[in-house]
Amino acid sequence: MPSSRPASSVLLVLLLTLAAPAVAATASVGPEDDVVARAIAAADAGPEDQDAAPQGDAQTPDDGQAPVLQHDDDILPEDSSRAGFYVRGDIGAALFATPTARLPAPVGRFRSPSIDPSVTFGAGLGYDFGGFLRTDVTLDAVGSGGFSARSVCAGCAGGGFTRERADVSALAALLNAYVEFDGVVRPYVGGGIGVSRIEATDWRTTRPDGRTGKRPDAEGWNFAWALAGGVGFDVADTVTLDAGYRYLALGSAETGRTAIGGGGGRGRAKLEDIAVHQVRLGVRVRFP
């Protein structure tokens, strides 16, 4: 059939013309087109489709900020802070520094003044800030120590020295602060300021000829200060033993007007520069 060949050729050309755009589109798809296609598909997906998307080990939030790291509170270390109030009590030995004693002229400064060792005890209330710092308010008593000295016997015909004796005691109220290093054994240093009350009672005199007499009691209120150091030992969760040294400057005291020599002169006897070296053992109990 002569007419069938031209008809077949025409039909083939027509099919090729219709298929060419689809073949070209398929052949032109590359990696970039694949990325674009996936982006378009993700944009068209709903919330349900996004929730179903696989999750990686770490994701960046949609706002572009860095991811927030999460932690489990259960794995954090427990709070070991020691912050809180405590009460304290102390007892120890008080070794008096060499004082100064005097009467007005013509007697002047006493010779060889000294105060015998005594005991000290005290109590206080404090607050531990939980770091290196703690503070407390303390009230301490220094027991009676025997004062002795020699004074020029201005009224004695043959000269010589009068023997002076008295009993010296003191109270001190201080506000203290300490730097204390942490640990089971905790060394510390500190200091305090406050007020003191000094008394010298039962003041007796003995002249070279053996005659005895009395002077009025001496007393005085003073500014007081202290420097301290020591170590603390934990013996329980809330109990600490404290072994320490403290230098406590107490101040001075003076008597009422007293006789000077045998000429009728009168003046005040003074005790000055009274201070103690305290070696103390105490206990601090923290409130739970």
Instruction: Looking at the structure, tell me whether residues 46 and 154 fall in a common domain.
Output: no
184 in Cβ contact with 234 (< 8 Å): yes
Instruction: Looking at the structure, tell me whether residues 157 and 218 fall in a common domain.
Output: yes
139 in Cβ contact with 153 (< 8 Å): no
Instruction: Looking at the structure, tell me whether residues 278 and 216 fall in a common domain.
Output: yes
Instruction: Looking at the structure, tell me whether residues 39 and 95 fall in a common domain.
Output: no
Instruction: Looking at the structure, tell me whether residues 112 and 219 fall in a common domain.
Output: yes
> Per the domain annotation, does 275 fall within a domain?
yes
215 in Cβ contact with 243 (< 8 Å): no
Q: Which domain holds residue 103?
A: 84-286
Question: Could you tell me what percent of the chain has a pLDDT over 90?
Answer: 61
Burial class from Cβ neighbours inside 10 Å (0-12, 13-18, 19+) for residue 13 reads: exposed
Spatial distance between the Cα atoms of 224 and 197, rounded to a whole number of angstroms: 9
Question: Could you tell me what percent of the chain has a pLDDT over 70?
Answer: 71
Instruction: Looking at the structure, tell me whether residues 29 and 88 fall in a common domain.
Output: no
> Would the pLDDT of 282 be above 60?
yes
Name which of 17-31, 110-124, 132-146, 242-256 the model is least confident about.
Answer: 17-31
Instruction: Looking at the structure, tell me whether residues 41 and 110 fall in a common domain.
Output: no
DSSP annotation of 86: E
Instruction: Looking at the structure, tell me whether residues 123 and 251 fall in a common domain.
Output: yes
DSSP annotation of 236: S
The pLDDT of residue 183: 78
130: how many CB neighbours lie within 10 A of its CB? 14
List the CATH number of the domain containing 130: 2.40.160.20
> Would the pLDDT of 74 be above 80?
no
